[in-house]
Amino acid sequence: PSLFSAIDMAPRDPILGITEAFNADQNPAKINLGVGVYYDDNGKVPLLACVQKAEEILIAAPAPRTYLPIEGLAAYDKAVQELVFGADSAVIQEKRAITVQAIGGTGALKIGADFLKRFAPDAQVYISDPSWENHRALFESAGFTVNNYSYYDPGTHGVNFAGMIADIKAMPAGSIVLLHACCHNPTGADLTSAQWDEVIAAVTTGGLVPFLDMAYQGFGAGIAEDGAVVRRFADAGGPLLVSNSFSKSFSLYGERVGALSVVAASGEEAARLMSQVKRVVRTNYSNPPVHGGKVVATVLTTPELRQLWEDELAGMRVRIKEMREAFVAKLKAKAPSHDFDFVRDQVGMFSYSGLTKEQVGKLREQSIYAVDTGRICVAALNSRNIDTVIDAIAKVL
């Protein structure tokens, strides 16, 4: 037997499995609500006009593809830091924040996890129950033990806040707590501002290390509104890590653009952290790719393009909200005895719809694909497919 002959098949990715089944379905009216991608009203992944215009600017001034610095494009890191913390943030003015370009939000999480493992090797990591399915695997692959904190309440389709705060208060000092800054994936259930106050207080008094994952900035209440949680954590002092992604907000999925930011206690500490984060990047992939970083930096730093981006992102956010409204209203008409009002209150691209695994299975018989947990991507609904979806759901209730 060779080294490879005894290796088992790894488990299939559940979401990619849905896509495979969807692709194999011959029904031309099939609908995939299992995805984690924003589609426009024509059912297409948008190419944002701000991105196209930035690319025109870049093409008009051809540049050789040298290596970027380990930490990425300087203009990108600066613009992203200002976006994430607010340009007037004390942590920026006091040079206490470092930001490195990363290979999407996933890359930012992995760099953060590897960095933490070096300096807090015995810390426990806590993620929400449920969470984005890659969180656990990412932190486990960095060598951590990953635990859950209570999060979702299937009874209310919202947050089990009493359970969450009790679990946070019980975490040992030094634990790493991963929090979704906004637009919780997979549930769509976010904390209120007052609940965030309590979480920030508990994290601070408990001596925990918050790691905020912000993959959907701008899809909730707005760019600044969604980023407010990050700013409040930064103001609370203490260590803080933030991963952010432009996959969804710039519709740049395949370009892999994101960043990791770390807030230190002083400028001098920040410089030491930067040197160590660079070491993690260097031993993983050396330095990030050029194109996506240049596109995002160009958009963020060119006032007209920035405005265009903010408008286009607002368009995506508003369309999702309209789909939530339509979903609730149309289901109310078709299935008045069932209450789906909570879908309107959920935030971001996803909804834990409350559909059971069995109901999801019956939807699939009608060529409508959702995740077994009942997660649907509201951003995959559009004015042409929503009636089909509603009829199918009404049938399986």
Catalytic residues: 132, 213, 248
Does position 18 interact with ligand PLP (CB under 6 A)? The reply is no
Does position 210 interact with ligand PLP (CB under 6 A)? The reply is no
Residue number with CB closer to ligand PLP (108 or 273)? 108
Does position 292 interact with ligand PLP (CB under 6 A)? The reply is no
Residue number with CB closer to ligand PLP (185 or 359)? 185
Q: Where are the alpha helices (DSSP H) in the chain?
A: 14-24, 49-60, 74-85, 90-93, 104-119, 133-141, 161-170, 193-205, 223-235, 267-284, 291-301, 303-334, 342-345, 357-365, 386-396
Does position 112 interact with ligand PLP (CB under 6 A)? The reply is no
Burial per residue of 75-84, b for 16 or more beta-carbon CB atoms within 10 angstroms, e otherwise:
ebbbbbbbbb
Q: Which of 85, 115, 132, 144 binds ligand PLP (CB under 6 A)?
A: 132
Q: Which of 185, 298, 351, 366 binds ligand PLP (CB under 6 A)?
A: 185
Q: Least distance to ligand PLP from the beta carbon of 132, Å?
A: 4
Write the CA distances from 324 to 118, 195, 350, 368, integer angstroms. 43, 24, 10, 18
Q: Which of 34, 72, 104, 218 binds ligand PLP (CB under 6 A)?
A: 104
Q: Least distance to ligand PLP from the beta carbon of 127, Å?
A: 10
Does position 374 interact with ligand PLP (CB under 6 A)? The reply is no
Residue type, 303: P
Does position 353 interact with ligand PLP (CB under 6 A)? The reply is no
Distance CA 45, CA 272 (A): 41
Provide the 10 A C-beta neighbour count for residue 111.
26
Does position 348 interact with ligand PLP (CB under 6 A)? The reply is no
Does position 106 interact with ligand PLP (CB under 6 A)? The reply is yes
Does position 105 interact with ligand PLP (CB under 6 A)? The reply is yes
DSSP string, 347-396: -SSEEE----HHHHHHHHHTTEE--TTSEEEGGG--TTTHHHHHHHHHHH
CB-based burial of residue 147 (10 Å sphere; 0-12 exposed, 13-18 middle, 19+ buried)?
A: middle
Does position 158 interact with ligand PLP (CB under 6 A)? The reply is no
Q: Least distance to ligand PLP from the beta carbon of 243, Å?
A: 7
Question: What's the length of the chain?
Answer: 397
Q: Least distance to ligand PLP from the beta carbon of 36, Å?
A: 4
Q: Which of 71, 114, 190, 213 binds ligand PLP (CB under 6 A)?
A: 213
Residue number with CB closer to ligand PLP (113 or 393)? 113
Distance CA 103, CA 277 (A): 14
Number of residues forming the site for ligand PLP (CB under 6 A): 12
Write the CA distances from 177 to 22, 97, 229, integer angstroms. 35, 19, 15
Q: Least distance to ligand PLP from the beta carbon of 270, Å?
A: 24
Nearest alpha carbon to residue 261 among 282, 234, 236: 234
Place of tokens 């909804």: 351
Q: Least distance to ligand PLP from the beta carbon of 343, Å?
A: 19
Q: Which of 30, 32, 36, 308 binds ligand PLP (CB under 6 A)?
A: 36
> What residues contact 66, with CB distance under 8 A and at least 6 apart?
none
Does position 188 interact with ligand PLP (CB under 6 A)? The reply is no
Q: Which of 101, 160, 245, 382 binds ligand PLP (CB under 6 A)?
A: 245
Both tokens of 95, joined, read: 């040079």
Q: Least distance to ligand PLP from the beta carbon of 109, Å?
A: 6
Residue number with CB closer to ligand PLP (353 or 359)? 353
Place of tokens 């990050």: 230
Interaction site with ligand PLP (CB under 6 A)? 36, 104-106, 132, 180, 185, 213, 215, 245, 247, 258
